[in-house]
Structure 1
Amino acid sequence: MRKIFLLDFSSQQAKKLPLLLYYHGGGFCNETPFSPACHSYLKTLVAEAEIIVVSVDYRRAPEHPIPVPYDDSWTALKWAASHVNGDGPEEWLNIHADFGRVYFAGDSAGGNIAHHMAMRYGQERLPGINVAGTVLIHPYLWGKERIGNEVNEREAVREGIDAMWHVACPLATTSGCDDPLINPIKDARLPSLGGSKMLVFIAGNDVLRDRGWLYYETLNKNGWGGKVEIMEAKEEVHVFHLSNPSSVNAVAMRRKFISFINEDR
């Protein structure tokens, strides 16, 4: 299932708009596109950015462990691609979506999914679809070796993140939290990431902060040919932009998100 967020087109009937595929967070186990915080955030983003958003309702663990969320998300992209020639099942996309400006984005576990959609797009191009860029918001990335502030984090928090991954991906029995699905730094294919630009958002008081930094630094030096940016919100917590969307930092973050998508328009 997909949830589509649209502008009021009454005054701009023929205007083509960037298409954003968005993947919600929740540790691969919780939340949906219909969760109030996610719904409200995307409504605001659509109105301010003048884009179309397809919010993907992927199946969740533990009933549907990884790779099901990735496969569902790729199926959603293929569904969007079925509108390229103007004869897809959703008329709004036939008329208004600009398939030359497609973006992936997601928060937390959804940020992990967005990364993997960009990776898969780098390997499997879809006719008529041009993925211009990807936005990772506090992405759920991890690893066995503790880095940065993870060393000082409470053990219960670290073990909780480890355990969440084992629930989401029980097939990662040997590699565990160093599986490239959760630790993309271990993925030799990382330079083949699809799209030409990447934006990573991190929060200063988020236990996942240093993973976002490491991801950014690795993309900068591993031969990927695109442009990568990072924005840190000091003193903020994980997905604060959903819990406190009107805060100064959340507004600044949303403006950066919008400028990233619209800078080529």
Structure 2
Amino acid sequence: MDPKATEIAHDLPPFLRAYTDGRVERFFGTDVVPPSVDSETGVSTKDVAIAPERGVSARIFKPNTINPDQKLPLLIYYHGGALCLGSPYCTTYHNYVTSLVDEANIIAVSVDYRLAPEHPVPVPYEDSWAATQWVVSHSHGQGPEAWLNDHSDFKRVFLAGDSAGANIAHNMAIRAGVEGLGVVKLSGICLVHPYFGRREADCDSRGTGDSLVDKKPGVDNKWLFVCPNTSGINDPIINPAADQNLRKLGCSKVLICVAEKDGLRKRGWFYYEVLGKSGWGGALEIVETEGEDHVFYLFKPGCEKAVALMKRLASFMNQD
């Protein structure tokens, strides 16, 4: 075997390693929790195939505290993982969305998009848009899934995600504003510890995410890994300031959550400032968790600050 074929091409410790021969080893998010009724919360889950020919699917979550004719807010969730890790079916995201559904008393659809580098950008975004449109196809009560037909309030639809998933949520809201979602109008989006690119000037000395620091001028190495054909730091997917459609963001309110020790903290604040100056007319709010790092709540879900953050997200989706 050619030793060069087994050289490491990209390393994202301790989560992923990619080799020059095309092999990818993932050390996070590969486990699968079967759909079931959660013993602690009573939240029920089921899996659906959205576009089997292209491998797009989702997990639907329904709380147990629901009447037969009750309509609940509907959340479409896009998981994080740098566009190359994770799924709705892994323990981390299954448990997180289950807890959020229980706390907020909502219906949720957690999207399983195809992952880079095998499926580089824009594939994860196109898959996410296909899933979003599939959800919207239930807005007249005649879609293929009864849980969405019977229990979803399509006048209260939200998009949310963490890290790269928050970036997807933002881009889906932009596309909704430009192309529309039929009769559905998004109520809001929740961007938790969002990823909007990374430049050396944006490195936060309080952050611990050294693997995110630039390896090439203009744009961080992680983005080049998932989007090798990027135009650079002015790619509108990761730089909202470069997006001419930013003011068309298709929702009425936005909640941004950042963490004090997160290496992406500055980019979250950057998004807040740029959106606020864009001419978009919605309500904009940002909250910062002190003393915590990137997506801390996924790995310390029972800590006081994680509980507070979840209650804030639940409140956002239940406010008039």
**Alignment TM-score > 0.5, same fold:** yes
CA distance in 2, matches of 1:128, 1:142: 33
**Residue 8 of structure 1: how far off its partner (Å):** 1.7
233, 236, 245: which one aligns with 2:292: 236
306, 309, 312: which one aligns with 1:253: 309
Provide the residue aligned with 2:120 in structure 1. Answer: 65
Give the TM-score normalised by the residue count of structure 2.
0.78
Provide the residue aligned with 2:41 in structure 1. Answer: none
CA contact (8 A) 2:209 2:263 kept: no
Number of equivalent positions? 261
Higher share of residues assigned strand:
2
Alpha carbons of structure 1 residues 154 and 101: separation in structure 2 relative to 1, 3 Å: closer
**Residue 150 of structure 1: how far off its partner (Å):** 5.8
Provide the residue aligned with 2:141 in structure 1. Answer: 86
176, 197, 200: which one aligns with 2:253: 197
CA contact (8 A) 2:208 2:262 kept: no
CA contact (8 A) 2:249 2:280 kept: yes
Provide the residue aligned with 2:229 in structure 1. Answer: 171
The one-character-per-residue Cα deviations of 1:64-123 (angstroms, maximum 9, x if unpaired) are: 111111111111111111111211110111111111111000001100100000100010
Alpha carbons of structure 1 residues 150 and 180: separation in structure 2 relative to 1, 3 Å: farther
Provide the residue aligned with 2:184 in structure 1. Answer: 129
Alpha carbons of structure 1 residues 73 and 188: separation in structure 2 relative to 1, 3 Å: same
CA contact (8 A) 2:80 2:162 kept: yes
**Residue 131 of structure 1: how far off its partner (Å):** 0.6
More RCO (CA 8 Å, sep 6+): 1
CA distance in 2, matches of 1:152, 1:243: 17
CA contact (8 A) 2:206 2:261 kept: no
Q: Which amino acid aligns with 1:190?
A: L
Provide the residue aligned with 1:216 in structure 2. Answer: 272
* Runs of 4+ more than 3 Å apart: 150-157
14, 19, 35: which one aligns with 2:74: 19
Provide the residue aligned with 1:159 in structure 2. Answer: 214
83, 103, 108: which one aligns with 1:48: 103
CA distance in 2, matches of 1:79, 1:116: 17
The one-character-per-residue Cα deviations of 1:232-253 (angstroms, maximum 9, x if unpaired) are: 0111010001000111111111
**Residue 176 of structure 1: how far off its partner (Å):** 1.7
Q: Which amino acid aligns with 2:82?
A: G
Higher share of residues assigned helix:
1
CA distance in 2, matches of 1:137, 1:103: 13
**Residue 46 of structure 1: how far off its partner (Å):** 0.6
CA distance in 2, matches of 1:170, 1:57: 22
Give the TM-score normalised by the residue count of structure 1.
0.93
